[in-house]
Amino acid sequence: MSFPETRLRRLRRTDALRALVRETSLSLDDVAMPLFACPGEGVVRPVPGLRRIAQRSVDELVREGAGLYGSGVRAVLLFGIPEEKDAEGSGAWDDDGIVQRALRALRAEVPGLTLLTDVCLCEYTDHGHCGVLDGDTVANDETLELLARTAVSHVEAGADAVCPSDMMDGRVGAIRAALPDTPIVSYAAKYASAFYGPFREVAESAPSFGDRRGYQMDPANGREALRECALDLAEGADVLMVKPALPYLDVIRAVRERFDCPVWAYQVSGEYAMVRAAADAGHLEEQRAALESLVAIKRAGAGTIVTYWAKDLAAWL
């Protein structure tokens, strides 16, 4: 039937009716909060481009983790800013490295918190690229063993799952061979995006030359993302991640429809910073815009979202 018998507004009349027929919902079980560990003690170093986000020393990171867990956030994704960097990024797999210390402290003090770790070399190399160099090119195969070594060190320090984000070919297989029982959350479709800018401030990981288009995906490509996902699953990935999120809702949807596995999305720093800046300027309401964007990512097919709004979401929900 059509109008006037059919009137879709009937179910939009009240909050209660809208809630009863709502197709997509958010909960704190759906999100993970990025955290950034840095050297020192008592350090909370705000990032200009990411208001309310900061680098934290391990003691402060534990305090933040405990607060997140107490508010209902159950998972965090750890990044590290080392004291020193070198050409190989050896701080990434150091047993006494910054992420490894943070993992041990969080595991001891907040045992219920799920600890995910970003596995990449960009924060640890003095050139800022995601692997070791051969001249001006990132050497794919030589990097794989170092990524696997990093992932093993994270698990030995207490990580529940590892999340390789480097976009080297074959890195999931190398990590799976080293860690047969550990969940791997693969950044399977990670694009060479303009939306990473603020993250590179907080992670201190901007390349000292060139860019990452030689290994991260071209934003124009969608079908290629499905090839990346298929290869990563074949190599042993348990979860597929799409990054960024909002500019790639079509990719999230395509991955969800093609593969019968958990699909995650990373709502990146630029997405967060844009809404924050617009809210600060009075152009929109932060809470409504943030919730709408998170619902859109879920509606597209992401089961879990890595988001800088995870802490705020605990208060909003």
User: Catalytic amino acids?
Assistant: 190, 243
Q: Strands, E, within 233-294: which ranges?
A: 239-243, 263-267
Are 191 and 110 contacting, i.e. CB atoms less than 8 angstroms apart? no
Are 269 and 77 contacting, i.e. CB atoms less than 8 angstroms apart? no
Are 126 and 86 contacting, i.e. CB atoms less than 8 angstroms apart? yes
**Which residues pair with residue 75 across a beta bridge?**
114
The amino acid at residue 59 is: D
Query: If DSSP codes are grouped into helix, strand and coil, which group holds residue 213?
Result: coil
Smallest Cα–Cα separation from 124: which of 159, 173, 91?
Answer: 91
Bridge pairing between strands 133-134 and 137-138: antiparallel
CA 235 to the chain's CA centroid: 21
> What is the rounded CA–CA span in Å between residue 64 and residue 170?
35
- What is the token pair recorded at 265? 């999305």
> What is the rounded CA–CA span in Å between residue 310 and residue 246?
16
Are 44 and 273 contacting, i.e. CB atoms less than 8 angstroms apart? no
The amino acid at residue 21 is: V
Number of H helices, E strands in the chain: 11, 12
At residue 311's C-alpha, the angle toward residues 307 and 314, to 5°, is: 110
Are 294 and 249 contacting, i.e. CB atoms less than 8 angstroms apart? no
